[in-house]
Amino acid sequence: MFNPRVAISAVLIAALSTIPATAKDHDKDRDHAKDVEVVNTPKVNVANTANVNVVNTPSVNVSTLPAVQLAPGATVGIAGTAAIQIANSPTDPVPVRDAATLTRTPFQTELTVEVKDSERMGSGFVAVPAGKRLVIEYASVISVANIGQALVFELVTQSKTGTQPPVSSRFFLPTTLTSPAPVGGDLDQYVAGQVVKLFSDPGTSLELRAERGALNSGNAIAIFSISGYFEDVK
């Protein structure tokens, strides 16, 4: 005898048995991470300061030389034995400058000093600009005076200390009588010259001084020449 309920049950069982196994497996794999392959060089925009983790040490290619900016105080490390190459050749070297050496401007001058009749001393001055220090590396002088006057030549520099008035320092040049006055003559010639290292501070003056002994009659002429440089004062 035909039973309708039994027939319906048989149909349901047959239908369930035809469901693909892949659909069942798909439901099971929802809880497992799967590898994703990205092709065609896609663009990835990371917004809102998201964190991106890259695992398994992949290779990263950077093209078109992008600009890299480092925050102040950032540290950059180079791993391994990295080689750094400078493109400049020996005929076109990289310009370098010793940061400890101040900017220098060469300087030289000639100054005539006159010691007038009945006076014992005459002076000339070289002004030192503000912001510069005068460094003297060589000084020389040639002079003529009446017989027996024994001229002495001095360089007087000035240094500043805080708000105090400048302090003067006297430096003497060794002098030689090169041309004594001939018989019937009335003039002697003196010369002096020496390598020196003297300093005169910004805003002061270098004094070039010619001085004679007890005999002070007639005029004496001294021509000073100095060379060195001005350097910037920090």
Q: Predicted confidence band at 156 (pLDDT cuts at 50, 70, 90)?
A: very high
Taking the CB of residue 136, how many other CB atoms lie within 10 A of it?
22
- Taking only the tens place, the pLDDT of each residue in 121-148 is 999 999 999 999 999 999 999 999 999 8
Is this model's pTM higher than 0.75 or not? no
Pairing of strands 175-179, 187-200: antiparallel
Burial class (CB in 10 A: 0-12, 13-18, 19+), 121: middle
What is the helix (H) or strand (E) element at residue 229, kind and residue range? strand 220-232
Residue 143 pLDDT? 96
pLDDT digits (tens, 9 = 90+) for 157-216: 999 887 788 899 999 999 999 988 876 678 999 999 999 999 999 999 999 999 998 788
pLDDT at position 234: 77
Q: What are the pLDDT digits (tens) for 58-102?
A: 666 656 666 777 788 787 777 777 666 667 778 888 777 666 667
Q: Which residues contact 161 (CB under 8 A, 6 or more apart)?
A: 167
Judged against a pLDDT cut of 90, whether residue 3 lies above it is answered with: no
Q: Is the pLDDT of residue 1 over 70?
A: no
pLDDT of residue 90: 80
Judged against a pLDDT cut of 60, whether residue 26 lies above it is answered with no
- pLDDT of 205 reads 95
Buried-exposed string 69-90: b where 16+ CB fall within 10 A, e elsewhere: eeeeeeeeeeeeeeeeeeeeee
